[in-house]
A and B are shown apart, each in its own frame.
Chain A
């Protein structure tokens, strides 16, 4: 098992391919997550982020003209990418679709559960978290997850179905984490297996390929 420590730099296992144009951009995004994990999003200022990242305030604004929200969006997408990279690493040797799906969900839940910035927001700033996960932003997150998960599922499924499976898994993780229920606790492997067996596998088998997801 890979050690999972939410919000740290080691997660960027894909090296340069993390969606950032420059190392400075990545440092700024990571700095925002650091600060958020420490004292929340509302109290984090651009000055805090600049200091944490070791750049000037002007640099932060030059890299992210949209300010805090733009950094947060970029950071969220980057975290999804590094989570998926971690999953890809883990699943390379697994040669069974059901097992891949179950492990994807488990790894995602463990990662997001131990994520410091996310935990702070969930406990103290639910509205800010809701904003990160709101509708169109969530679309973007699902699309990132699907793009990166698809090649992994593509070993067992055709291309379109693999993308569908990626979005589906992301949808399940976000829903059960943001509105938990004791009937289906995704921290328990048995519950994840039940979900995958009951809904996801029959659905993937039944897919006739009549719709496709248009990724940008």
Chain B
């Protein structure tokens, strides 16, 4: 799959062939078919899924050492947006003409939503315990809302430059956290 990503990076999602992948991986075309018996379509699907998994792992690593919830959300959005624009595969995902990629990724969306929501619920519960978040906040409800906002903003910043930390902090403060933070803050 690393080879597929390299092939996609070189030739684009539309352009790459199984021969390119085999060459990049240093194996024969037959070997590629052994691992991906359904050929190109399967390769595209699994590579897209893998790349998305890698995206979220990188994002989790990037925010792991950030102690404050607000900083963590800001860092996540800034780095997430940078990763998305840098990756050829994820970049192609943003180009809506790649129907095969969209089809490949669509089934994993509820899964991603669920994982992000659960992560944020734990975060919010910790913040409630620390007194940073209002104690009457319904953490499940709020985590679901935050998940929606994060996914929506990452995909469609609608004119706001999320790689600009100042702008992103303002978005996080107003649209994500304003309704949640403890009144003393």
Contact = CB atoms under 8 A, between A and B. Distances in A.
B106 interface: yes
Contact of A206 (B99, B102, B149, B178): B178
Contacts of A199: 145, 175, 178-179
A55 B166 CA distance: 51
B contacts with A: majority SS: helix
A126 B155 CA distance: 18
Contacts of B148: 171-172, 175-176, 179
B94 A204 contact: no
Interface in A170-204: 171-172, 174-176, 179, 181, 183-184, 195, 198-204
Interface stretch (B16-24, B68-76, B157-165): B157-165
B106 A127 contact: yes
Looking at B103, B141, B173, B178, which has the most chain A CB atoms within 10 Å of its CB?
Answer: B178
A142 interface: yes
Given A143-B158, A179-B113, A203-B174, A137 B96 contact: yes
Given A175-B151, A199-B178, 14 more contacts: A131-B99, A135-B155, A136-B94, A139-B159, A146-B158, A171-B149, A198-B145, A198-B179, A203-B174, A203-B178, A207-B170, A207-B174, A210-B166, A216-B159
List the 7 closest pairs (A to B, CB-CB), nearest first: A211-B167, A134-B96, A203-B178, A213-B159, A142-B158, A175-B148, A206-B178
Interface of A: 69, 126-127, 130-132, 134-139, 142-143, 146, 164, 167-168, 171-172, 174-176, 179, 181, 183-184, 195, 198-208, 210-211, 213-216
13 contacts: A131-B96, A135-B96, A138-B158, A139-B157, A171-B156, A174-B152, A183-B141, A198-B142, A198-B145, A206-B173, A208-B174, A211-B164, A213-B159
